[in-house]
Structure 1
Amino acid sequence: MSHLLHLDASARRNSFSRELSRAFADAWLAARPGAAYTYRDLAADPVPHIDEAWTQLCDHILRHRITDVSRYHEAARTPAQRAAWKIVEPLLNELVAADVVLIGTPMYNFSIPSSLKAWLDQVTFPRMSLAGRRFVVTSARGGAYGPGTPREPVDHQERFLRDFLRGHFAVEDVTFIHAELVNALIDPELAHLRDRHAASHAAARRRVRQEAAR
C-alpha cells in the first residue's frame, strides 16, 4: 500500500507552499483510495535541534557499521541517548514507512527554514539510504531564482535539498515545484511583476496536478 508523508515548514498559516503541498496531497490521495497518509507541521510542532546525545547515537551507528535502520535503537545506551532516541524514533518511523515524501517549504534567506533543517538533521544517519523513494518539494520564493535569472546562483533552497537527498540518501526521484515572485503581492517595488507571479503560481498548480497523477 502506498504511503505519503506530508511535511509543511512555512511559518505562515496561509502560505503558497502550504497551498501547493495540500493540493498535491489531496490529488494524490484522491487517485489512491485507501493509501496511507501521515502529516507533520514542522512550524506548528517544531522538531528539536540535535544535541550532543544525538551525535553519540550517530557515532555508535557509524563505528559499529549499523546500516539497518531497525537496529538504530541499539545505539541508545545512556539516559541522555535514550532521550535523544525518543525524539528520533517517531520521525524516523514516519520517513521509513513512506514511499512518497512531500515537503512544502518556503525559501527563507536563500535557503530552507530552520524547522525543516532540524527535521533533516534528526532523521539523517551515516550510510542511510532512502533509494527508491520519491520526494516532491512544493515551494514559494519571494523572488525569481530559476535558470538564467540574476539570482539563480544564490538559490540554496532547491540546490541544497537536491544535493542532500541525492548525495546522502541516494534519492534520484526528486521533483521541485516553485511558485515564484510572491513578494510582488506585498512589495510596492515589485508590483509590476504581479502578472509574472500569477503565471508562476498557475503553472505550479498545474504541475502539482500532473505530478500527483504519477
Structure 2
Amino acid sequence: MPRTILRIDSSARRDGSVSRDLTDRITARLAGDDTRILTRDLAEGLPLLTEAWIGANFTPEADRTEAQRAELALSDSLIAELKAADTIVIGLPVYNFGLPAALKAWIDLVARAGVTFRYTEAGPEGLLGAKRVIVAAASGGTAFGSDFDFATRYLTHVLGFLGLTDITVLGADRLALDAEAALAAAHAAVDQLPRAA
C-alpha cells in the first residue's frame, strides 16, 4: 500500500539551509518507489490568526457562514495534509532560541479543539492518530536537549498534544562552534533511520 510523507520546511533560507538539506536527506532515506510526498514550504508565508478566524473556528460547523468557511479553508487544508500522512518530516531551524514565526503560525492553524485535539474529563486528547514524526533541527549555538533548547522541547510537546507521540528529533546543533562535526553527526543519524516505522 502506498505511503505518504508530509515534508514541512520552515527555514527562511533556501540556499545553504541546513534544516532543508536534512529534510531532503530524510525524505530520500524514507521514500520508496510508491511513496507519495506532500511538500509544504512555510517560508512562502502563512497568515496569523485574526479575530475573524477565531470567531469562525468557535462557531459550530453547521452554523458557519460562507465567509467563515473561507476563513478556515487554509487551516482545513493543512489539517488534511497531516491526516493524509503516514510520516511527517519537519525542518526546524532554531531562531533566537525558538521556532521560526512561520512554523508557529502553522501550529496555530492546525491546533483546533474538536478537530486535532479535544478536552475530556481525563485531560486533553490528541486526535491525529499514530503517525511517525521526524524533526530535522539545526542551531547555531543551542545544544539540543539543553536547558536553553526551547525549540525542540516546545515542538515535541505541541505535537504530542495533537496525538503525535512517535517523534524522533535529529539534527545539527551548535553549528557555529564546529559545523563539520555537527553536520557529520546529523548525516550519520539520518543514515541510521529505520526506513519503516
Helix, strand or coil at the partner of 1:153: coil
Change (3 A) 1:17 1:169: same
State the TM-score, normalizing by the size of structure 1: 0.79
Q: 1:26 is matched with which residue: 25, 28, 44?
A: 28
Whole-angstrom distance in 1 between the partners of 2:180 and 2:153: 24
* Correspondences of 1:83-94 after superposition (within 5 Å): 83-94=70-81
**SS in structure 2 of the partner of residue 110 of structure 1:** coil
Name the residue aligned to 1:189.
Answer: none
Give 1:211's aligned residue.
193
Q: Find the residue that maps to 1:96 and give its secondary structure.
A: helix
The structure 1 segments of at least 4 consecutive aligned residues displaced by more than 4 Å after TM superposition are none
Q: CA deviation at 1:75?
A: 5.4
1:40 aligns to what SS in structure 2? Answer: strand
Contact 1:53-1:80 at 8 Å conserved across structures: no
What do residues 125-178 of structure 1 show as CA deviations (whole Å, max 9, x unaligned)?
A: 11251220111110110114234xxxx212110110111111x21222001112
Could you say which residue in structure 1 is the equivalent of 2:36?
36
Query: Which residue, 81, 98, 101 being the options, matches 2:85?
Result: 98
* SS at 1:93 equivalent: helix
Question: Once the two structures are superposed, what CA deviation does each residue of 1:49-86 show, in whole Å capped at 9, x if it has no partner?
Answer: 1222321233235xxxxxxxxxxxx3572243122122
Q: What's the secondary structure of 1:163's corresponding residue?
A: helix
State how 1:109-188 maps to structure 2 within 5 Å. Answer: 109-126=96-113, 127=118, 128-147=126-145, 152-166=146-160, 168-182=161-175, 184=176
- Secondary structure (helix, strand or coil) at the match of 1:118 reads helix
Deviations 1:90-149 (A, max 9, x none): 2121111001111012001111001011111111111251220111110110114234xx
Go from structure 1 to structure 2 and tell me whether the alpha carbon gap of 1:83 and 1:179 turns closer, same or farther (over 3 Å shift): same
Aligned 8 A contact 2:97 2:142 in 1: no
- Contact 2:8/2:42, CA 8 A, preserved across alignment: yes
Whether 2:176 is the aligned partner of 1:200: answer no
Does 1:3 find its partner at 2:1?
A: no
The equivalent residue for 1:68 is: none
User: Residue 16 of structure 1 aligns with which residue?
Assistant: 18
Quick one: distance in 2 between partners of 1:198 and 1:75?
55
Is residue 43 of structure 2 the alignment partner of residue 56 of structure 1?
A: no
Task: Let me know the Cα RMSD of the aligned residues.
Answer: 1.7
Q: How many residue pairs were aligned?
A: 183
Percent identity at matched positions?
Answer: 37
Which one has a larger percent strand, Structure 1 or Structure 2?
A: 2
Instruction: Give the structure-2-normalised TM-score.
Output: 0.85
Q: Distance in 1 between matches of 2:159 and 2:144?
A: 20
Ranges in structure 1 where 5+ consecutive residues have no aligned partner:
62-73, 185-192
Structure 2 CA distance for partners of 1:39 and 1:100, relative to 1, 3 Å: same
Residue number in structure 2 paired with 1:77: 64
Give unmatched runs, 5+ long, in structure 2.
119-125
- Residue 121 of structure 2 corresponds to none
Paired residues of 1:24 and 1:212 also in contact (CA < 8 A)? no
